[in-house]
Chain A
Amino acid sequence: SQQGEEDPQALSIQEGENATMNCSYKTSINNLQWYRQNSGRGLVHLILIRSNEREKHSGRLRVTLDTSKKSSSLLITASRAADTASYFCATPALSGNTGKLIFGQGTTLQVKP
């Protein structure tokens, strides 16, 4: 089953604008991860934020985590056409020793040149 909801489901912006995607999850977490998937391809790991962190940066990416609201956001600044992709949040299942990831439904981002 999916972990939660991502919002919006689809986003279309102009190159140079910022893009913000939100993710809500249902259970307690140790960390939350964001992945990017180009059309019809595998997933690429973008960033991991631990449950005791509130904000993390990596290049043009900024991730926030609010464990009280069970939500996270991914901000891509100064977007480029190459950022066009689907973006997924994922959390590791806490039960057992498995590292299996539970993914959201994703946000499809289109950046127009």
Chain B
Amino acid sequence: DTGVSQDPRHKITKRGQNVTFRCDPISEHNRLYWYRQTLGQGPEFLTYFQNEAQLEKSRLLSDRFSAERPKGSFSTLEIQRTEQGDSAMYLCASSFRQGSEETQYFGPGTRLLVL
């Protein structure tokens, strides 16, 4: 399977704990995106990378959130001191931009529940 993969698929944690999610994009894709989706809503943009550079962060991404993409391959999203409001599906997508258009390919998501 050469699609976008995410790990873990599910994570249950206690409030105050740190969690880290991993995303492995499609290998030739230079762009990688993180979105957050709460129940009944569409995904909301968190941050994106072009190769290893993090080029934009949403104001939704508080100081407790950090994302990395070392070597421009896989990416990690860490949430420190989790809060119940962090409970959501975290989606990763990758793309290869050609001209002004791009199609983003999404992974299956990591569902986080903070107790």
Contacts and interface: CB of A to CB of B under 8 A. Distances in A.
Interface in B2-36: 4, 6, 31, 33, 35
Interface residues of A, number: 29
A45 B104 CA distance: 7
Given A42-B108, A43-B91, A2 B42 contact: yes
A43 B106 contact: yes
Interface string B68-82: 000000000000000
Interface string A1-23: 11000000000000000000000
A61 to B, nearest CB: 15
A42 B107 contact: yes
Contact of A88 (B42, B45, B56): B42
Contact of A100 (B4, B45, B106): B45
Interface SS of chain B: strand
Interface stretch (A52-60, A64-72, A77-85, A103-111): A103-111
Interface in A35-53: 35, 40-45, 48, 50
A2 B38 CA distance: 12
B40 interface: yes
A100 B42 contact: no
Most B C-beta atoms less than 10 A away, residue of A31, A43, A98? A43
Given A41-B108, A42-B91, A42-B109, A101 B103 contact: no
Given A90-B42, A104-B42, A105-B42, A48 B48 contact: no
Interface of B: 4, 6, 31, 33, 35, 40-45, 48, 55-56, 89, 91, 93, 95, 97, 100-109, 111
Interface of A: 1-2, 30-31, 33, 35, 40-45, 48, 50, 88, 90, 92-93, 96-106
